[in-house]
């Protein structure tokens, strides 16, 4: 178990003296209820400068039993800036609120932006845990290089996560009730007109308490194989967690449409989400909209290899290692869509979804069903991963960082 003390520098200690902002969605007489849905709540939130703060509250006033996956603003966000060709210095914790951008900011005009996602968990003794945050930092640095951006160092990234989680500790759900989702963003905040990298970059982190990503909760997912829309193309940015990956995708007709269109259409028809195929041949599995996919046959587990169009998920990487520890054979390779017909199990992995079982997949009007529930590989891996993340199972891999 890696145990690292959290020490705030003087500028952070001073910022923590600012009265935290209570979300406008909560008050003393009514708890915040279920926030279900895949997208954040649309809001023109303006945070007051002097909101009340009950300093002795152990938890925020939230209905933890009905927590979903949606934006629930917390008290603080982390902000850091640097110029092009420079290095990030000290950031600071600010009350959660809107940020100011030039209309010609590179992120608005040319999509120069990256994001990450990780979670903080609360142990029974109240201590907070982070799961492999250095992997998120490494992935952001790699993505920044691809997108011609400056990026924080691994240490800066991890320390910023610690500060944000600790400052918002009362929003971390009780054990077994969810987690605090942490969203690091790196954006080209500097103003440009011609197509060029931004002259300034902003690294920020905000947080929201969450539970199940899918509206089905822990129930098996029902996926639809999408053949008209592509998630990513070869030699593109499919392997980079850039903001531009999640809106425009190429379609088989000469036009561009949002990936959200395919997802919304699938949901309208009763499906949980969309499973995409490779753009070149339409014969191999790629990803679900926001997570990696695995299929299992006997003791063999297969998942599409990260060949440049597939995001190298941190949960994916962890599940592969855990599966091998449990004696399963794991293959990272091209997985033909036809293999879905012979699979015993199918499951998805991701920071938001965890390890989620798939109960059925529909491909070319054929519905295929899979094993779910007790005794499955998916359940075994889910229990092991969540146990490590929440401190219930001893971490023998050095994946957990304890925040003191």
pLDDT at 235 (0 to 100): 57
Q: Which pLDDT tens digit goes with each residue over 140-169?
A: 999 999 989 999 999 999 999 999 999 999
Whether 248 and 154 map to the same domain: the answer is no
Q: What is the mean pLDDT of residues 329-340?
A: 97
Percentage with pLDDT > 70 across the chain: 78
pLDDT at 125 over 60: yes
Whether 301 and 380 map to the same domain: the answer is yes
Which residue range(s) make up the domain with 257?
Answer: 221-392
Considering only residues 233 and 128, tell me which one the structure prediction assigns the higher pLDDT: 128
Q: Which pLDDT tens digit goes with each residue over 204-243?
A: 999 999 998 776 667 899 999 988 876 666 655 556 667 7
Q: Which of 190, 210, 230 is the last residue of a domain?
A: 210
pLDDT at 245 (0 to 100): 66
Whether residue 114 is contained in a domain is answered as yes
Q: Which of 210, 231, 255 is the last residue of a domain?
A: 210
Whether residue 268 is contained in a domain is answered as yes
What's the CA gap between 336 and 340, in Å, rounded?
A: 8
Whether residue 364 is contained in a domain is answered as yes
Reference 172, options 72, 307, 89, 289; nearest CA is 72
Predicted TM-score (pTM) of the model is 0.82
**Least confident residue range of 9-13, 202-206, 222-226, 377-381:** 9-13
Whether 362 and 268 map to the same domain: the answer is yes
Whether 233 and 352 map to the same domain: the answer is yes
Are the CB atoms for 4 and 402 separated by under 8 Å? yes
**Residue 316 maps to which CATH number?**
3.20.10.10
**Least confident residue range of 22-31, 211-220, 257-266:** 22-31
What's the CA gap between 11 and 328, in Å, rounded?
A: 49
Longest dimension (CA), the chain: 61
Whether residue 61 is contained in a domain is answered as no
Whether residue 360 is contained in a domain is answered as yes
Domain count, the chain: 2
**Residue 201 maps to which CATH number?**
3.30.470.10
> How is residue 219 written in tokens?
């129930």
What's the CA gap between 199 and 184, in Å, rounded?
A: 20
Whether residue 47 is contained in a domain is answered as no
Whether 345 and 246 map to the same domain: the answer is yes
Whether 154 and 250 map to the same domain: the answer is no
Catalytic residues: 241
Considering only residues 21 and 224, tell me which one the structure prediction assigns the higher pLDDT: 224
Whether 178 and 313 map to the same domain: the answer is no
Whether 233 and 363 map to the same domain: the answer is yes
Q: Which pLDDT tens digit goes with each residue over 63-116?
A: 999 999 999 999 999 999 999 999 999 999 999 999 999 999 999 999 999 999
Q: Which of 210, 229, 256 is the last residue of a domain?
A: 210
């Amino acid at each position: 178990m890696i145990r690292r003390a959290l020490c705030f520098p003087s500028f952070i200690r001073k910022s923590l003296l600012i009265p935290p902002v209570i979300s406008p969605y909560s008050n003393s007489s009514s708890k915040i209820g279920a926030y279900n849905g895949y997208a954040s709540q649309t809001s023109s939130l303006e945070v007051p400068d002097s909101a009340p703060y009950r300093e002795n509250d152990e938890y925020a006033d939230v209905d933890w039993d009905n927590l979903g996956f949606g934006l629930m603003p917390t008290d603080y966000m982390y902000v850091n800036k640097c110029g092009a060709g420079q290095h990030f210095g000290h950031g600071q914790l600010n009350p959660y609120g809107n940020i100011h951008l030039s209309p010609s900011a590179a992120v608005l005009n040319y999509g120069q932006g990256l994001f990450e996602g990780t979670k903080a968990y609360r142990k029974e003794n109240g201590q907070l845990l982070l799961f492999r945050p250095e992997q998120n930092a490494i992935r952001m640095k790699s993505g920044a290089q691809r997108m011609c951006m400056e990026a924080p160092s691994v240490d800066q990234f991890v320390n910023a996560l610690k500060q944000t989680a600790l400052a918002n500790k009362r929003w971390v759900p009780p054990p077994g009730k969810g987690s605090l989702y942490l969203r690091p963003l790196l954006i080209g905040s500097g103003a440009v007109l011609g197509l060029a990298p931004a002259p300034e970059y902003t690294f920020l982190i905000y947080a929201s308490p969450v539970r199940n990503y899918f509206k089905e909760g822990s129930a098996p997912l029902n996926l639809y194989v999408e053949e008209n829309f592509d998630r990513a193309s070869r030699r593109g940015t499919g392997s980079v967690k850039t903001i531009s990956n999640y809106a425009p995708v190429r379609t088989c007709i000469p036009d561009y449409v949002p990936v959200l269109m395919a997802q919304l259409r699938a949901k309208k028809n009763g499906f949980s989400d969309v499973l995409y195929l490779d753009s070149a041949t339409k014969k191999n599995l790629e990803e679900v909209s926001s997570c990696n996919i695995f299929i299992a046959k006997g003791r063999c587990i297969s998942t599409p290899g990260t060949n440049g169009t597939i995001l190298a998920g941190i949960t994916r990487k962890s599940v592969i290692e855990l599966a091998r520890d449990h004696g399963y054979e794991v293959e990272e390779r091209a997985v033909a869509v036809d293999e879905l017909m012979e699979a015993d199990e199918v499951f998805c992995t991701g920071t938001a979804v965890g390890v989620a079982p798939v109960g059925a997949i529909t491909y070319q009007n054929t519905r295929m069903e899979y094993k779910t529930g007790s005794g499955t590989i998916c359940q075994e891996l889910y229990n092991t991963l969540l146990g490590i993340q929440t401190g219930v199972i001893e971490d023998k891999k050095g994946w957990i960082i304890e925040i003191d």
